[in-house]
A and B are shown apart, each in its own frame.
Chain A
Amino acid sequence: MKTALELIGIHKSFDGFAALTDAHLRASWGEVHALLGENGAGKSSLMNIAAGLYAPEAGTLRVDDNAVRFGGPRDAARARIGMVHQHFRLVQPFTVAQNILLTAPAAEGFESHRRRLRRIDAAIRDKAQELGFDIDPAQRVDRLSVAEQQRVEILKVLLAGARILILDEPTAVLTDSEAARLLSTVHALARRGAAVVLVTHKMADVKRHADRVTVMRGGRTVATVDPKQMPVAELVRLTVGESITAPAAGSARATPGPVRLAVRGLRSPERRGRRVLDGIDLELRGGEIYGLAGVGGNGQGELAQAIMGMTGDAEGEIALEGHGDLLRTPAPARRTLGLAAIPADRYGLALAGGLSVAENYGIGQVHSGRYGPAWRLKRRAMEAGARAAVAAFGVQGVRSVAQKAALLSGGNAQKLVLAREFGKSPRLVLAHSPSRGLDVRAGVDVHARLRAARDAGAAVLLISEDLDEVLALADRVGVMVRGRIVAEFAQPADRQAIGRAMVAHG
């Protein structure tokens, strides 16, 4: 097969930190080429170079066997390279057509805005039909689900003329069925002659859908192989560099204690004829993990925020053992009552990226007077505490605790959150998609911490869209659909039955 995109000997560093050292990739026309690696292996950096967002310090880019140099994403688009980023680049209040108009090539000569919009509209409908997408070009992007927004992104790069399609972690935000659909679309595109680079850390995606796979580790390319020819264990070894010990299955569980958290009739105000939270009832005991499964966007985020105290307009009751109703208790007071929270939105709700690692760690305990009285903050003690926690929780990539938290990769940022939240033993743990976007090793770490908290007697509420995660951790499983808990299962739960409950009430 002819080579579509080739990256040779790429070097790139950020602020003195080498993200890529001698990275290679060669993708051919007509294939789905997976790029596999842990968090921080340099996959996204390499693809950002291919898409013209970063300039490499050394190395060559070749498209169709011609060396190219990109001064920006426009040059890459001219070379027919298009990238769908993990965090979508869409203007939320604009319609689908307006978003696509932004990047679509202009017609020769003069064309009125109106006529252009109409032309784009028609092109979207054609392309959407061809790919089997159900997209209304006049719909506003913020009304679309995550999966639909992703389809808009794909349409956007295709209509901008891309023949080399780069998808950065496309399945991370999708449910199983949505992911399967996306990957079959991607396959169809490759069969029609396009080249697709699929950035992922999910072994299953690679095994099932990739024609070839390039494995990266620590900023280098370690191998390019045919995934069909290689056992999973060998792929894992290539990715991780060493074998990870599997978590001890069925760890000794403490017997559940009294009801620690009781949520009764929790509702959010009605908007546009529906309530995001529509009467949540659940009971959570000390020493157990309650896993809340469900397709994303069914009110999980709102439930998490209501428990954290970030919404002021929920009605009902959130009762904490020994305290009573929490609903009107402000967030800081909930913290002192023993709530630990691992929100899904890491840089929105869990960390202040512009502040240092030490400050982000210390903010969790500074209320208690651990780092000095209110009139005298002991920064040195805080930094020492942060250093100890960084070591204890294995947060990598911390050159100094004075560095900004934004410099940490996804997995390490999450470990820093864990270090802070589990720094004192919590009574109630709220974990929302705690291993989303993390690699295998970091995910295993996160799960071990949650189990340890449970074994220490904490009540753990795990909200996750990843059914595997829920089944691996939870003692009881609830299913959330449209702002309600529609079913509960005791472990061992039937995966099929849970899956049916997740979609039956939708």
Chain B
Amino acid sequence: MSTPAMASGSAVAAHPAPSVRAEPAEAGAGTSTGPGRTGEPKAARQPWARRRYALEIRQHMAWHRQAFILAAAIGVGLLISAVILVAAGVPAGELADEFIVQTFLDGQNLRAVLFQAAPMILVGLAGAMAFRARFWNLGLEGQMIWGAIGATAVSFFEIGPPSLRLPLMFAAALAGGLLWVLGPALLKLRLGVNEIISTLMLNYMAANFLLHLVYGSWKDPKDNFPYSPQFRAFERLPDLVAGVNSAILLAGLVALAAWWAVGLSRAGLYLRFVDANARMAQAAGVPVARIVYGAVLCSGAMAGLAGFAVAAGQEGRLTQAFYQGYGFSGILIAFLARNNPLAACLVALLVAALFVTGRSLQVFYQVPFSMVQLIQAVIVVCVASSDFFIRHRLRRVGGT
């Protein structure tokens, strides 16, 4: 997500670089203290508070330095979170133990993290894909719901032989999410209808239709709870080795495909141009409309698969509120990962780990679960702020 200033592609001289000073205008204005014509570096002898600094817009930064700044921002966010948790009553000595040892080194918890991460990776990828095409898909939840409905329909109506049931559910979920975003995509590209509104509103339609199904015709006849009948064993995503659900494998494969599409294929280059300057891309011969449709439909399909991962991997049926929170998480993950598919996997794992740890903190230390959301928010704010250091540089004026 680049800022408009960068995307407009103005030349260096077009950026008015604001300058900040650590001193009032009068002080040091004379040639006696300021670096004079002789160019002698006098700034070195100035007291710290009297040095002048200029804030410049940075045009380019090597990727490894960007990664370092990003990592530092996450580190600062975690540090602040740790302080908050200690203030909330978690013993400082046990924080590292809870977060690292218990979460990643304990088999049970690691399985829980991977279990939680699969749909998060998928919605994160869905967000990243659409945002790369400058399509603000806020309908991830709606597309997820339709993905789950598609998969459940295959199970409910017993379509296809048992051996093909799971692939059919997969395809139906993919199609469900894809079709639910097709409307907003057509409206946007044909008629210029704002996709933020259309995708967001369609979430409510999908959610209410879901309630209609689980309270109505699809309600499980065995008990009277609002959910669909339990999927049969062959309709559920199987466990891999050591009880790790295969949903994470599915998410990983989709992430690899997304990485290939945006990083290695020709369409990925087209997508970069659509993101940077769509009119220029059109003029240079990029099939802009096709690229946008492609990216947006992929986004919808991935969100649909996230619905499939929850329904067939976690719940084993269609429930009434399985999707809640994933829309926000998807946007968050895509943002933190800068729309990069591989980074989205890492961020999704981190978010999932936070969830799992949060639950155990809740149990063992009576920390409210909203604390987890607070930590998420702190990290997001830190990463968003780190953008400032990637886009600007602060340098001393008048010295060397």
Residues of A within 8 A of B (CB): 8-9, 11, 14-15, 19, 44-45, 48, 53-60, 67-69, 71-73, 75, 87, 308-310, 330-332, 334-336, 341, 343, 347-355, 359, 362-364, 366-367, 371-377, 403-410, 413
Contact = CB atoms under 8 A, between A and B. Distances in A.
B59 A15 contact: yes
B281 interface: yes
B196 interface: no
B11 A410 contact: yes
A355 B59 contact: no
15 contacts: A14-B56, A15-B393, A53-B17, A54-B19, A55-B52, A56-B397, A58-B35, A60-B34, A67-B29, A72-B18, A87-B14, A332-B285, A353-B9, A376-B264, A406-B6
B31 A67 contact: yes
Given A48-B13, A60-B34, A335-B284, 7 more contacts: A19-B12, A55-B54, A75-B25, A310-B279, A350-B280, A362-B269, A406-B9
B265 interface: yes
**Interface hub of B13, B34, B397, B398 (most chain A Cβ within 10 A):** B13
B46 interface: no
Contacts of B37: 8-9, 59-60
Nearest to B9: A353
A363 B269 contact: yes
Given A15-B58, A353-B10, A363-B284, A71 B17 contact: no
Contact of B10 (A11, A331, A347, A409): A347
Interface stretch (B209-217, B270-278, B300-308): B270-278
A15 B58 CA distance: 6
Contacts of B17: 53-55
Nearest to A399: B60
Contact-residue bracket for chain B: 35 or more
B266 interface: yes
Contacts of B21: 71
Contact of B7 (A14, A72, A354, A362): A354
Contacts of A9: 37, 39
A374 B265 contact: yes
Contacts of A67: 29-31, 34
Contacts of B2: 354
B284 A407 contact: no
B268 interface: yes
Interface in B46-73: 52, 54, 56, 58-60
B285 A377 contact: no
B58 to A, nearest CB: 6
A218 to B, nearest CB: 16
Contact of B286 (A310, A336, A341, A363): A363
Contacts of A48: 13, 16
B385 interface: no
B59 A406 contact: yes
A351 B52 contact: no
B267 interface: yes
A355 B12 contact: no
Contacts of A355: 272-273, 276
**Interface hub of B8, B10, B266, B273 (most chain A Cβ within 10 A):** B266
A497 to B, nearest CB: 35
**Interface hub of B30, B31, B282 (most chain A Cβ within 10 A):** B282
Contacts of B34: 60, 67, 69
A349 B19 contact: no
Nearest to A73: B16
A-B pairs, 5 with minimum CB distance: A353-B9, A335-B285, A55-B19, A352-B276, A332-B285
**Interface hub of A9, A59, A330, A354 (most chain B Cβ within 10 A):** A354
B273 A363 contact: yes
Contacts of A359: 269, 272-273
Contact of B25 (A71, A367, A407): A71
Nearest to B269: A377
A407 B11 contact: yes
B36 interface: yes
Nearest to B12: A14
Given A53-B17, A377-B264, A367 B285 contact: yes
Nearest to B393: A15
Contacts of B286: 332, 363
Given A58-B39, A71-B25, A353-B8, A375 B285 contact: no
B183 interface: no
B8 A347 contact: yes
B31 A60 contact: yes
Interface string B365-399: 00000000000000000000000000001000110
Given A364-B284, A403-B60, A409-B11, A352 B397 contact: no
A409 B18 CA distance: 21
A184 B193 CA distance: 50
Contact of A406 (B12, B18, B56, B284): B12
B205 interface: no
B287 interface: yes
Nearest to B398: A58
B19 A72 contact: yes
Contacts of A11: 39
B9 A69 contact: no
Given A60-B36, A403-B60, A349 B285 contact: no
A262 to B, nearest CB: 22
A366 B269 contact: yes
A8 B29 CA distance: 14
Contact of B60 (A19, A308, A350, A404): A404
Nearest to B261: A375
A331 B282 contact: yes
B283 interface: yes
A354 B6 contact: yes
A248 to B, nearest CB: 32
B277 A343 contact: no
Contacts of B398: 57-58
A410 B11 CA distance: 8
**Interface hub of A19, A73, A406 (most chain B Cβ within 10 A):** A406
B52 to A, nearest CB: 7
A303 B39 CA distance: 53
B149 to A, nearest CB: 32
Contacts of A72: 18-19
Given A67-B34, A69-B34, A406-B59, A349 B264 contact: no
A79 to B, nearest CB: 11
Contact of A341 (B272, B279, B283, B397): B283
**Interface hub of B34, B265, B279, B285 (most chain A Cβ within 10 A):** B285
Nearest to A336: B285
Nearest to B14: A87
A400 to B, nearest CB: 9
A55 B56 CA distance: 9
A349 B282 CA distance: 8
Nearest to A368: B285
Contacts of B9: 347, 351-354, 404-406
Contact of A407 (B16, B19, B59, B265): B59
